[in-house]
Amino acid sequence: MTKNLISKLLGLMLLCSTSLLYAQDQLLIEKLQQGGLNIFIRHAITPGKDPAKFNPPNERPFDCSSGSRQLNDEGRAQSRRIGQRIKELNIPIGEVYSSGFCRCEETAKLAFDRFTSTDWLLVRPGVFKADLDRALRSIPSKGFFNKTPSGKNNVYVGHGVTFTQGVLSSDFGIAEARIFLEEGEAAIFEPGDKPRVLGKIKFY
């Protein structure tokens, strides 16, 4: 097989892969435009490289002066792009909840200009979080936390550890509860007694 043929085959494979991802994104976008889903966004870009991000030992939630890991300029720009893209796509947003760490609050503020800080988004590895589990199950118009009109999507801005350390109930499924999200990436949940992860999407 010639180098030219190999190059063409690799190009075709890349094109097919890109087309598939685009189709998957379009399907998620159409569902989000109808409302009734939950959007979990990992906070935007911070200094360091995944998966070895450094958290200062003295960082504390609800205290931006404690030396916590915060967004860098790239992360702030990414947050704004996320909010702008969601607006451009006409995706209706209901409630916006954020972890109390600065990197999450700033992501939510820059993307949506509003948020409610909650301690139930402050997860620890392997610790089941009943309130988060309940929130992601709930249909936004009838949810445990939400009182917004139907036809909107709730947003949760949190941490990558949420889905890599199994802090949701087993009803989410082993594979689904071990999702890795890049900084700024979102996972889309269809709520219900047996919630489903519909996929991941980047709004940036």
Number of domains in the chain: 1
Which tens digits make up the pLDDT trace of 103-133?
Answer: 999 999 999 999 999 999 988 777 888 999 9
Q: Which domain holds residue 84?
A: 3-201
User: Is the predicted pLDDT of residue 154 greater than 90, yes or no?
Assistant: yes
Which tens digits make up the pLDDT trace of 6-23?
Answer: 555 455 444 444 444 456
Q: Which residue has the higher pLDDT, 194 or 148?
A: 194
Q: Are 100 and 117 in contact (CB under 8 A)?
A: yes
CATH classification at residue 125: 3.40.50.1240
Q: Is 116 helix (H, G, I), strand (E, B) or coil?
A: strand
Q: Are 4 and 149 in contact (CB under 8 A)?
A: no
